[in-house]
Amino acid sequence: MGRETATAWAFVAPSVLVILGLSVVPVVWSLLLSFQADDLVTPSRWVGLDNYRALAQDPHFDQAVRNTILYTALYVPLSIGAGLFLALALNRRIRLVGLYRTLVFVPFVISAAAQGVLFSFILDPEFGAANTVLDVFGVSPQGFFNDPDQALLALLAVSLWSGTGFCVVVLLAALQDVPPSLVEAARLDGTGRLQLLRHVVLPSLRPVMVFLLLWQAITSLQVFDLVYVTTKGGPLGSTTVIVYFIWEQAFKNFTAGYGAAAAYTLALALLVLAVVPRLARALRGRTRPERSRPDVTGPDRRLEGAAR
């Protein structure tokens, strides 16, 4: 028995060491670092909650939070809404549908760095193809990444171009799992397309929509690569998001403790985002058995009979 245990640990040990070395140890170390003043050169000193107090009064961090919230509030519903629209359009037997699905998904597999380089050329104010096309339609040249009023929206557009493909694939798989019998019964009852979508399709997609809501929100809160490649947080801090702010404080300004405090502030926000839906689902599950059972002779019984 002891020999078998030793053999098992011999196989498991490399993975355990990797997890400890790349996950657990950095998390604990960065947590301790958030309570210290550390410039990565001189010995650190304990400052307690001073880093967190400074964050609460830092206008640059406040701007980064506002930019991140605005980006998330626009990206999440637009990506899911566009993904649902495209998924419904591609969930049909049309010619070359496989090619269309591939073209929609391809931008998602392109790295954010490559996207940033590509769109930096396309959206260049002087030589970019975007202003050339706009000039054909009589629209004056736009600043895009160089304009503080447009930079964040330009980043949002690039993110939607790539991130919508993930939503399309997930929703397409979910649409193909909608029971055909429900759809057929609804059509036999004379249900229109909008009513079919509202009362049959969308309720079946609810678990997937909750997953996409959480996934896209977490993804948007952690956006960094695209900002780093395209705008470097500018112009005038208009595209500085939280993760870029963390990188800037830790590796550009060499205030590692301050950056770690900002990182744990973001981690707390992500934890709340992940836990709140679970708590809401648990509370809803507790209250559900207390509800009175529906009258079997009422509309539910008639609907059951109609479905048969």
Q: Encode pLDDT of 46-58 as tens digits.
A: 988 989 999 989 9
* Cα–chain center distance at 189: 39
| Phi and psi based region of residue 144 (left: phi greater than 0; alpha: psi -120 to 50; beta: remaining) | left
3-state secondary structure of 37: strand
The pLDDT, as a whole number, for residue 207 is 87
Tell me the average pLDDT across 261-282. Answer: 83
The pLDDT, as a whole number, for residue 1 is 61
Compute the mean pLDDT over every residue in the chain, rounded to the nearest whole number: 84
**Position 289 confidence tier, pLDDT thresholds 50, 70, 90:** low
CA max distance for the chain:
80
The answer to pTM > 0.75 is: yes
Instruction: List the one residue out of 87, 77, 90, 119 whose CA is nearest residue 216.
Output: 77
Tell me the average pLDDT across 192-196. Answer: 76
The pLDDT, as a whole number, for residue 305 is 42
Segment 199-226, tens digit of pLDDT:
778 888 888 998 999 899 989 988 999 9
| Phi and psi based region of residue 240 (left: phi greater than 0; alpha: psi -120 to 50; beta: remaining) | beta
Report d(CA 222, CA 244) in Å as an integer: 9
Query: What sections of 176-252 are H helices per DSSP?
Result: 180-188, 193-196, 202-204, 206-221, 225-230, 242-247
Q: Is the pLDDT of residue 252 over 60?
A: yes
Query: What sections of the chain are H helices per DSSP?
Result: 2-19, 25-33, 50-57, 59-90, 97-109, 112-122, 129-136, 151-175, 180-188, 193-196, 202-204, 206-221, 225-230, 242-247, 256-287, 299-307
Domain segments of the chain as ranges: 46-281
Q: Is the pLDDT of residue 24 over 60?
A: yes
- CATH, domain 46-281, list 1.10.3720.10, 2.30.29.30, 3.90.650.10, 2.40.50.140: 1.10.3720.10
* Count of residues in the chain: 308
Report d(CA 292, CA 12) in Å as an integer: 51
Report d(CA 127, CA 111) in Å as an integer: 24
Q: Which amino acid, one-letter code, is at 172?
A: L
* Cα–chain center distance at 117: 21
Tell me the average pLDDT across 300-304. Answer: 42
Sign of the Cα torsion 141, 146, 151, 154 reads positive
